[in-house]
Amino acid sequence: MKIGYALTWDIRSDDPVVGKIRDQVSTWRALGHEAQVFCVSDGVEGDRPLIDGAHVSWRGDSSGILGKLGTARKALASQRAAIARFGPDLLYMRAQPYKPALATLMKRYPTFIEVNSLDLVEGKFYSRGYGLYLKALHHYNAATRGRLYRLARGLVSVTREMLADPSFARFGLPGHAAPNGTRLERYQVAPATEPGAKPTLVLLASGGHKSEKTHFQGVDKIIRLAEQTRGELDFLIVGNELVRESRPPDNVEVIDYVPQAQLASILARSDVGFGTVALYRKSMHEACSLKVRECLAYGLPVILGCEDTAFPVGDRPEWVLQLPNTPDNLDANAGAIVEFAKRMKGRRVSHDESRPYVDSVEIERRKLEFMREHLGG
């Protein structure tokens, strides 16, 4: 098949989303398909996209609402023209707010939308105190999203929970749950940490002053756990300077946001990785964190604070510690966390062990079969 991948994202950012898209497209090509990324991105001509070969429609760096709308309109027209020249059999679109230019594309090409969040829940949260633009965007999305989804051939979601949520289920579209994966072959398992030292637990938090993200990730709870386990555990929190402002205890090291290429040396110092531990604050119960996949790619055992699509009940290996998705999941299980961290000290998860759960090849193969099945509408 000839697949066009359409999205709006800052393609200059060396973040897990850009890494995921690179993995998806390279996997599709390895499976014998022709795939091309078409991205509307902040930035200007001459900026460097971090996905090789992507067609980028730059929309500048306008900060005001009117400026964003004007430059976005031109960028979307450029994206639409590039997709028309490519002539895909289908469009794979990362979920985004409705725009007339997207509707034009979806009427011309069979389109499958990738859902990565409950957008109405997140939008409602972001609209409270995070600026006029986000508030306006939430209300616009809530009023117009149906126009987008009614044109889609199907939904691909990273969790089963999102597919079943009424905000998506009401459209009656075919759905496929495809957990986030990663191309394990691109990574090397980190050497084991030195014996004798206290276990180190790591959280890859969101970069910059994104306090709404750290709220969902449960950074405040991990700091509290660190206070409770002084003398037994050390912690690394990567990527959010707000943590430093909260004056964490002396067994917490805070590292500012770093590009993906620099994560290997940081994770090599760690014994166990954390997933999201406060997903209930989003009124959700199931996640599929890219950051958990990064930890596993480098060989770290993981602690999950909610259900993960790739690790269903009854199929959790001994290098996964599953906690309930509750406000007291860390406080009530501090002893179990300490025991798990000590047991996993120096333990590395081989790619042979993690491949059945998180390697993208089989995940993407099943996704492509689903889309081919529903191409005809």
Task: Tell me if 158 sits within 8 A of 292, measured CB to CB.
Answer: no
Task: Tell me if 310 sits within 8 A of 179, measured CB to CB.
Answer: yes
List pLDDT tens digits, range 145-189.
999 999 999 999 999 999 999 999 999 999 999 999 988 988 999
Q: Name every residue whose Cβ is closer than 8 Å to that of residue 100 and which is 6 or more positions away in sequence.
A: none
Model confidence at 98: pLDDT above 70:
yes
**What residues are paired with 237 via a beta bridge?**
203, 254
For residue 135, name the pLDDT band (cuts at 50, 70, 90).
confident
Model confidence at 208: pLDDT above 50:
no
Tokens encoding 190 = 């980190």
pLDDT attached to residue 1 = 95
Model confidence at 207: pLDDT above 60:
no
For residue 242, name the pLDDT band (cuts at 50, 70, 90).
low
In CATH terms, are 2-183+360-373 and 184-358 the same topology? yes
The lowest-confidence range among 271-275, 313-317, 318-322 is 313-317
Model confidence at 134: pLDDT above 90:
no
- Indicate the DSSP class of residue 65: H
CATH 3.40.50.2000 corresponds to the domain 2-183+360-373:
yes
Give me the residue spans of the domains in the chain. Answer: 2-183+360-373, 184-358
Could you tell me which of 314, 358, 43, 367 has the C-alpha nearest to residue 185?
Answer: 358
Tokens encoding 170 = 């009401």
CATH 3.40.50.2000 corresponds to the domain 184-358:
yes
List pLDDT tens digits, range 344-363.
999 999 999 999 999 989 89
CA distances from 295 to 16, 71, 167, 191, 307 (A): 12, 37, 31, 13, 17
Q: Name every residue whose Cβ is closer than 8 Å to that of residue 46 and which is 6 or more positions away in sequence.
A: none
Could you tell me which of 56, 151, 54 has the C-alpha nearest to residue 103?
Answer: 151
Distance of CA 98 to the CA centre of its chain: 21
Dihedral over alpha carbons 243, 118, 284, 226 (to 10 degrees): -10
pLDDT attached to residue 209 = 43
Task: Tell me if 277 sits within 8 A of 221, measured CB to CB.
Answer: yes
pLDDT attached to residue 45 = 87
List pLDDT tens digits, range 316-326.
899 999 999 99
pTM: predicted TM-score of the whole model, two decimal places: 0.82
List pLDDT tens digits, range 20-37.
999 999 999 999 999 999
Write down the mean pLDDT value for the chain.
90
